[in-house]
Structure formats: C-alpha cells, structure tokens
Amino acid sequence: MKHPEILCVGELLVDLLSTEYAPDFRSADTYRRYAGGSPANLAMNLARLGQSVGLVATVGDDDAGELLREAVADTGCDVSLIATAPDPTTLILVTKSRQVSNFEAYRSADKYIAPEQFPEDYLAECRLFHTTAFALSRQPARGSIMAAAARVAAAGGRLSIDVNYAAKIWPNRLEALWVISKYIALGGEGAGTLVKCSEVDYERLFDEPVEEVAEAAGSILDLGAGVVCLTLGARGSYVVSEAGSFATPARPVEVVDTTGAGDAFWSGFLAGYVNKLDWEDCALRGRAMAEQKLTTDGPLTTAISLDELRPE
C-alpha cells in the first residue's frame, strides 16, 4: 500500500461548538460536538479535496477518541498513525463568533505523540509534513514532531506550519517563538518551510500589532521560511516568498461560522501546492475553500474537486 504523500501532525480533539453567536461561554446555552483540532481539520479537508493524506495524532482510549478516529477515517484520510493514550481525549469549548471565536482548552491525550508514530517508510514517502504551534506547545509531542520533521526535510520533503499561537495554550511566548523559529529553520535553505499565520496569531506571538503587512510577513520570512501567508480576515491574505509578494483580497460572503476557516484556507493552498500550481493560484484555491467554510455551519462534509475552486 502506498503511504500518504501529506502528513498532518498534531491535535485531534473534540470541539464543542456553540450553536449560537455569543461573546463568551456564560452567554451561550447550547453546544454541539465535532471532530476538531487544526491539523485534523486540515487533513479532513485535504481528503475531501482528493489528496493523499494521513493524520498523526493521539486521542484517549475512550468513546470520544473512537468517535474522532471514525470521523477522520470517514473522509478518506489515513488514520493508521493515530494512537491512544491512557489520558482522556482533549476537549475544546468554542463559543462561536463572526470574528474570532472564543475558546477554552481542556488538554490531555493530544500531547502524547511518540516517535513510534513516525515509521521510516511513511516519512520516506512524505512530500509535505504539516504541524501547528498548538502541537509543538507540549512535550513529548514537541520532540517527536521536531525529529520527524527533520527527517522529512533531510529526505527532500517540504515542511509546513500553522502558527496558531495563543497564550492560553502556550503561556511562555518567548519559548513559543524560539521553538516555532527552530521548526521553520528545519526546512533548510532550499525550498523552505511553508508558513501560515493569521494576523491575530502574529500579534499574539510577536507581541506587536500588524501595522505594515509586508513588514510583518517579511519578519517571518526572515526566520528561514520559504513562503509566508499572512491571513487578514475580511481583508484577505498576503503571500511573500523570495520570488516576490502579492495580496489576495477577500470577497464578500454571508458569514455563518468562522471556526476552521483558516484550516480550510490552508487546505486549498496546500492542495494547490502539491498539484504544482503557482503561489497565486494556491492562494485563490485557499480563498475559495475558506469561503465554503465561512458559509457553512460546522465542518465541511462533502467531497470537493480542486477544479471547483478554480478562480473565476
């Protein structure tokens, strides 16, 4: 059996998402469960886009963990590298917002990603290895992920990261910046790591506002990235690489649910990358996927052709 060419690594967890818009947990009455976690969302969206993808994650040996494994498998994503731990499955309470959703994390099993979850034959066939700041925030997952990423990069694969930094998840901001910078640098001087960072996450991690978009994206590029995509919410996105830079404006849509929109964007972008599209086409595919997510309550559920996301 051919192993997946894309590996998404990190948090697979239960999202309890409010069914109504509210400013905080106290104000929302009803929550609905979904399979969540940024790498898991990305993996499931890539599978819906027909890509060869697997998820490396750890869940609890409990009903919630089994539900999550089945939800990921149902999309066509390889789940053979999802492990179980004695601790309970991680849970996130998400209070839905039209801007940036509020969340509270109850972390447990997700941090127990082990070296044994990265078999050599899987890594040898991996073209793209993706993780998140959330996943790198705790040991032993951090060490396991960094070692596997280094092996993929050394074998000629490309690295990717979503800088989904939040102080609630990683209180030591300077440690987070150091670890994330170290991961980005693993991509080497050749192709370089693909980096997605939202404007909100940039401001949290660098402890400064995004006053000049080009300058902010450039500061991440200076960490050794090959391509940086700074997502700007209603203002679209900005991509910079050694080859140049460009902006992709957002188009007006009726926003139903912002949760997971960034993961949807990056799934379209990365699907474009593995299908050898240029960076502008990747960003346009990402925008189209984000639009589908923004106008959908809860996660996307149907198969999507990459051709459907072709720019008009």
CATH number for 66: 3.40.1190.20
Instruction: Check residue 188 and give its pLDDT.
Output: 78
Whether 61 is in a domain gets the answer yes
pLDDT score for 312: 65
The verdict on residue 26 lying in a domain is no
CA distances from 39 to 148, 188, 252, 263 (A): 16, 22, 27, 8
Whether residue 27 lies inside any domain: the answer is no
Give the residue from 173, 168, 125, 135 showing the smallest Cα distance to 42: 135
Dump pLDDT digits (tens) for 83-128: 999 999 999 998 877 666 778 899 999 999 999 999 999 999 999 9
pLDDT at 116: 98
Domain hosting 287: range is 6-10+38-83+112-309
Amino acid 189: pLDDT: 65
**Stated pTM of the model:** 0.94
| pLDDT at residue 299, rounded to an integer | 82
- What is residue 156's predicted lDDT score, i.e. its pLDDT? 93
Intervals of the chain under pLDDT 50: none
**pLDDT tens-place string over residues 180-205:** 999 999 997 668 999 999 999 999 99
Does a structural domain hold residue 107? no
In a domain, 96, yes or no: no
Question: How many angstroms separate the CA atoms of 124 and 112, rounded?
Answer: 23
Residue 213 lies in a domain: yes
Which of 118, 117, 95, 116 lies closest to 105 in space, CA to CA? 95
pLDDT for 1: 52
Q: Is residue 123 part of a domain?
A: yes
- Specify the length of the chain in residues: 312
- Which one, of 122, 110, 218, 102, lies nearest residue 166 by Cα? 102
How many folded domains does the chain comprise? 1
| Residues 14/64, Cβ–Cβ less than 8 Å | yes
Residue 105 lies in a domain: no
